[in-house]
Amino acid sequence: MGVATIAPEVRCRESSPADRSYVIELAAEIFADFGDYRSILSQWLDTPRVTTRIALEGAQRRGFTLIARHQPLGFFRRASAELVAIALEESARGRGLGRRLLEDAERIARAWDAHEMRLHTAETNRVARSFFSRAGYERRERGTTRYPNGQTALELRRALT
């Protein structure tokens, strides 16, 4: 009889100052085609309205999300949230960690009473577009911008009910 292996626990936690270099280096690696994310991430990490979450598999860091809270202007308007970045180590892909990170980000946004989550992804990134589509994100037609290296970024959104 073979020995059963137990998969390590997957969880998300708030980042700490000790995670800063991990987040910056992983982003620089994962997002290298889109621009210099070392300086961009440093700015985002220093923004008070941005929350950083770390995905753990057992005790090992495997990825992160950055979520921004956007306060509405005007009365009786609800907040929205933006998934500024989501990144997983190559070795952590295909095992549900990305979905776990996304669900955690949406839980944070709901706690802020956000009515929707927005994000940007590269038009050419079919894997990410498929991932977000399966999670219920739809393209916002007027939401097209460019990454620092010039690639087209599509805005996607999902209602958080």
Across 103-128, average pLDDT: 94
Query: Taking all residues of the chain, what is their mean pLDDT, rounded to a whole number?
Result: 89
For residue 148, what are the CA distances in angstroms to 56, 82, 84, 132?
A: 29, 18, 14, 22
Cα 65 from Cα 86, distance rounded (Å):
4
Is 112 inside any structural domain?
A: yes
Per-residue pLDDT, 94: 84
Q: Which residue has the tokens 């990305």?
A: 98
pLDDT of 133: 96
Which candidate, 161, 64, 45, places its Cα nearest to that of 105?
64
Q: Is residue 32 part of a domain?
A: yes
Is residue 3 one of the residues assigned to a domain? no
In a domain, 5, yes or no: no
d(C-alpha 104, C-alpha 107), whole Å:
5
pLDDT of residue 8: 63
Residue 97 belongs to domain with CATH number: 3.40.630.30
Give one word for 57, left, alpha or beta, with left for phi > 0 and alpha for psi -120 to 50: beta
CA distance 58 to 139: 35
**Domain assignment of residue 4, yes or no:** no
Q: Is residue 1 domain-resident?
A: no
Count of CA atoms in the C-beta half-sphere (13 A) of 15: 24
Give the pLDDT score at 7.
Answer: 53
Using CA atoms in the order 15, 68, 48, 46, what is the torsion angle rounded to 10 degrees?
60
6 has pLDDT over 60: no
Give the integer Cα–Cα distance in Å for 14 and 50: 11
Which domain, by its residues, includes 21?
10-159
Summarised one tens digit per residue, pLDDT across range 66-100 is: 999 987 776 667 789 999 999 999 988 888 899 99
* Strand runs labelled E in 35-151: 50-57, 60-70, 79-88, 114-122, 138-146
Identify the three-state secondary structure at position 79.
strand
Cα angle vertex 61, ends 55, 62, to 5°? 65
| Residue scoring higher pLDDT (22 or 5) | 22
pLDDT tens sequence across 121-155: 999 999 999 999 999 999 988 766 888 888 899 99
Would you say the pTM of this structure is higher than 0.85? yes
Average pLDDT rounded to a whole number, residues 92-119: 93
Say whether pLDDT at 5 is over 50: no
Residue 54 lies in a domain: yes
Measured in whole angstroms, the distance separating CA 153 from the mean position of its chain's CA atoms is: 15
What domain count does the chain have?
1
Is residue 56, in this structure, part of any structural domain at all? yes
